[in-house]
Amino acid sequence: MGPCSRVLFAAGYLQTPGSSRNEGCLSFQTMTEKPAGNDVSAASLMQPEARTLREQFQKLYGEEARVFRAPGRVNLIGEHTDYNEGFVMPVAMDLYTWVAVAARKDSRVHVYSQNLRERAEMDLQDLKLRVQRHWSAYVLGVAASLRMSGAEIGGANLLVEGRVPMGAGLSSSASVEVATGYALLESSGLSRSPVDLAKICQRAENEFAGARCGIMDQMIACCGRANYALILDCRTLGFRLLPLFADAQFVVCNSMVKHDHATGEYNARRADCETATRILAEQMPGVRALRDVSLGDLERYAKLLPEVVYRRSRHVISENARVEDARGALERGDPESLGRLMSESHRSLQEDYEVSSTELDLLVGIARGIAGVYGSRMTGGGFGGCTISLVGSGAVEEFQSAVAQGYERATGRKPDIYIVRASDGVREALE
């Protein structure tokens, strides 16, 4: 059995500030510690985006709306481990999807996308939505999934505006799903726990958008906390909050090459992991997922696995161990160790899991050559999207300009660069 299966997580509910009807987020003892890093507090909730969206809603539907927002995320470490029932370490970012909502008297859900200037609609009486590669699957799929879970939501008018870059590996899809799900529940006077909402949204993405994603993105969009990263056990869905570093920052660089999870490669990686689990479970009856396998077990049965499946498994098993080590590094305030683990994670994703790209490797290479950088890796599903680097606070400015210049010189593309500010999960934007 793998060492990670021994890590214990505990969870309990508490009332969330800013939403009286919400059953709340899971809380841990780390909440009493003084937060490090940037402060993104709940006090600044009614941001200009929310006010503007409310006005636009008034023009579009001729009525008042409530506004909700859910964050995108960046994953510090623990990639492609969630659907193997393993460990991940995401942070909710201060990039949001905003959803304005008002209840309707009938059973229809109408949605207008502010980004795409398109509308879509469905009747909640008819849940025969087909898997569709269309933006509306992330909204209407959630409405259907809520109903399928037994939540008797009513009809609603929705206006959606996404500010999480699409196809950048920052989880724009989950932020749309979670903001929509929360808005539909609230407009119907219903509530679900954050964990249940995350599961409902994951089901919507699996069944209606055709991407067999894990639970990480929906969980962090529901349960993220300002100033903290989460270490999440994707089997039990228990998590703990981890303080960020006081004197080092996480910086995200967008390769500006889009990825697409609904295409075959992501689902193919998942299928490889399922093949490994099936074969290994025949030898070790307790194995339910790669999370239950140690590197020693893998070596013992390596000959039974196709070579590619062996390498995929080696990535997942070693990545789970790196997440556990990364937890220690954050708790000790040790950026050197975390940086090293991030670089090892990138190598494993590049060579064993084969989900990196030329542009991501280039960004990582440039980052590693800059003084004051502790480590760098691709983040998210891969095949494009973003890298995350851990940079000493004094070197962040130099890092930004060196990466921008180096990457543009090599590719002709200007990378978007974000300094990570850890934010709260889904919330209502209150006056």
Interacting residues toward ligand GAF by CB under 6 A: 75, 79-80, 82-83, 171, 213-214, 216-217, 261, 380-381
For residue 148, how far is the Cα from the chain centroid?
23
CB 354 within 8 Å of CB 122: no
Between 83 and 112, name the residue whose CB sits nearer to ligand GAF. 83
Nearer to ligand GAF, 214 or 238 (CB): 214
> Residue 280 corresponds to which amino acid?
L
Nearer Cβ to ligand GAF, position 155 or 380?
380
With 0-12 CB in 10 A as exposed, 13-18 as middle and 19+ as buried, what is 63? exposed
Cα atoms in the Cβ-side hemisphere of radius 13 Å centred on 141: 27
For the bound state, the minimum distance from the C-beta of residue 370 to ligand GAF, rounded and expressed in Å, comes to: 25
Strand arrangement, sheet containing 228-233: 87-88, 228-233, 239-243
Q: What is the smallest separation between the CB atom of 70 and ligand GAF, expressed in angstroms? A: 14
Q: Least distance from C-beta 219 to ligand GAF, angstroms? A: 9
Q: What minimum distance in Å lies between the beta carbon of 58 and ligand GAF?
A: 34
Per the listing, tokens 């799900």 go with 181
Q: How far apart are CB 351 and ligand GAF at their closest, in Å?
A: 17
Measured distance CA(372)–CA(391) in Å, rounded:
6
Q: How far is the CB of 41 from ligand GAF (least distance, A)?
A: 27
Query: What is the distance in angstroms between the CA of the first residue and the CA of the last residue of the chain?
Result: 51
Q: How far apart are CA 153 and CA 107, in angstroms?
A: 9
51 alpha carbon, distance to own chain's centre:
26
**Percentages of the chain per state (helix, strand, coil), in multiples of 5:** 45, 20, 35
What dihedral angle (degrees, nearest 10) is formed by the CA atoms of 120, 126, 130, 136?
A: 20
196: annotated active-site residue? no
Tell me whether residue 54 or residue 291 sits nearer to ligand GAF (CB atom): 291
Tell me which of 94, 217, 233, 424 is the catalytic residue: 217
Q: Which is nearer to ligand GAF, 27 or 171 (CB)?
A: 171
What gap in Å lies between CA 168 and CA 254, rounded to an integer? 7
Q: Using alpha carbons only, give the angle 431, 12, 287 rounded to the nearest 5 degrees.
A: 125
Closer Cβ to ligand GAF, 102 or 221, answer by number: 221
The residues annotated as belonging to the active site are 217
